[in-house]
Amino acid sequence: MVDATALSGIRAVGPDRATVGAGTTWLELARAAATHGLAIPAATGYLGLTVGGTLSVGGIPPAVACGAQVDHVHALQIVTGDGELRRCSPSEDPDLFGAVLAGLGQFGIITEATVGLVPAPVAVRGWSIPYREPAAFFADLRTLVRRGEVTEVFGDWWRPGEAGEVHHLNAFAFAGPSGPPDGAHVLRGLTADPAAIEVEDTGYLEHITRIDTAVADLRAGLGWDALVKPWLTVWLPDSRVEEVVGDVLADLAPVDVGVGGFVLLYTHRRAALTRPSLRLPAPDGSDLVHLFTLMTAGPPGADTGFAEAMRIRNRALYGRARDVGATRYPIGTLPFDAADWRAHYGERWPELQALKRRYDPAGILTPGHSVFPG
């Protein structure tokens, strides 16, 4: 186990990038960038995650058109498994760079990262739109993403008091110099009932830290850190998303979600997700791809039987999704063996095996995933 907190610290903030220790959280960087009028692109829903941690899995935001955090990295400093301190970037050792981003810590420990920054928006207007019919929800979701007038769109289910019957569409757009965006224009032509739409205006920093605030409340109110959280996250091809989401929602029982748990769908423009180790569903002719997460929070005091039941559930759900083209986003709780990893990396497998032999010949880095056994 490596404690990355010793690697934290913001080393430099420039006009379009920052260099940070890998143990720095995105929340720390977002706050520091804001003092320069800058923002992190591709902010994950929750920002209390380390830069090294999310760059090792992908870092997927609810924003629709900016790709993932791994798409905004200029350079990395790494200690590879052979003990060497190395730098890599798109122009310096690009194979190592491509393997480390979304590389699950298999090739080296990221010690420092130079990541892109963008001008900070000032304010954000958000619309929360409820649907009873999944077809209307998905039609409006695609309309909003494809028009490109909103920056962030995501769906969620199982809010407190619900059992998956309401499809919540959340859309956000930045305020411009002339004020907040006009909802009548942004939401034009949608099938949603205008009377049911809730509107909220927030400052930009408040907007991107709202999940951190919600998690702090869950920690204080529910003892959230102590709950077993057997999450499942998969990428779904656009052509099958209704089917998989509908299938999962239809079968969920309250125990599958739990207190403080929920179900989440991020939608992305496929072309913006460029890093080769972030494994997406095979192209299906659509410009969109979706990240679907079942964020289960176990009951307080859940025993190992609960965790095992959820592992089995996740494997069954993953198997059904994979059969229609889904890929794993490698966070959460999912039994995955060597054959699964080989299939997961597909045509990249021989190159990744060779890079593993070269940079971590003794296989000392992150063996727990069993990506490269023996």
Ligand X SMILES: Cc1cc2nc3c(=O)[nH]c(=O)nc-3n(C[C@H](O)[C@H](O)[C@H](O)COP(=O)(O)OP(=O)(O)OC[C@H]3O[C@@H](n4cnc5c(N)ncnc54)[C@H](O)[C@@H]3O)c2cc1C
> Which residues form the interface with ligand X (CB under 6 A)?
4, 22, 44-46, 49-50, 52-54, 56-60, 104-105, 109-110, 215, 331, 366
Query: E strand or H helix at 172, and its extent?
Result: strand 167-174
Nearer to ligand X (CB atom), residue 187 or residue 365: 365
- Residue 130 near residue 186 (C-beta atoms within 8 A): no
Tell the smallest beta-carbon distance from residue 318 to ligand X (Å).
17
List all residues 6 or more positions away from 349 whose beta carbon is below 8 Å from its beta carbon.
Answer: 342
Give the β-pairing of 198-203 and 152-157: unpaired
Beta carbon of residue 132, minimum distance to ligand X (angstroms, whole number): 27
Q: Which is nearer to ligand X, 17 or 268 (CB)?
A: 268
190 or 275, CB closer to ligand X?
A: 275
CB of 52 to ligand X, least distance (A): 2
- In this structure, which long-range contacts are made by residues 7-11, counting pairs with CB atoms below 8 Å and at least 24 apart in sequence? 7/52, 7/111, 7/112, 8/50, 11/112
Half-sphere exposure of 192 (CA within 13 A, CB side): 29
Is the Cβ of residue 71 or residue 186 nearer to ligand X in the bound state? Answer: 71
Question: Tokens 């760079």 correspond to what residue?
Answer: 97
Q: What are φ and ψ of residue 44, in 5° steps?
A: -65, 160
In whole angstroms, the minimum distance from the beta carbon of 183 to ligand X comes to: 25
CA distance 103 to 22: 14
What is the closest distance, in whole angstroms, from the C-beta atom of residue 79 to ligand X in the complex?
Answer: 9
Nearer to ligand X, 19 or 56 (CB): 56
**Shortest Cβ 179–ligand X spacing (Å):** 29
Secondary element (H or E) of residue 126: strand 123-131
Q: Which is nearer to ligand X, 186 or 245 (CB)?
A: 245
Per DSSP, the chain holds a count of helices (H) and strands (E) of: 12, 15
Give alpha helix (H) positions in 39-176: 51-55, 94-100, 134-147
Can you tell me the distance from the alpha carbon of 283 to that of 290, in angstroms, rounded to the nearest whole number?
A: 12
Min dist. Cβ of residue 368 to ligand X (A): 8
- Please say which residue, 45 or 281, places its beta carbon nearer to ligand X: 45
CB of 77 to ligand X, least distance (A): 10
- Phi, psi for residue 202 in degrees, rounded to 5: -140, 160
For residue 246, the tally of other CB atoms under 10 A from its CB is 14
Is the Cβ–Cβ distance between 273 and 266 less than 8 Å? no
Q: How far is the CB of 226 from ligand X (least distance, A)?
A: 14
Rounded CA separation 255/58 (Å): 29
Choice between 109 and 265, CB closer to ligand X? 109
**Nearer to ligand X among residue 267 and residue 366 (C-beta):** 366
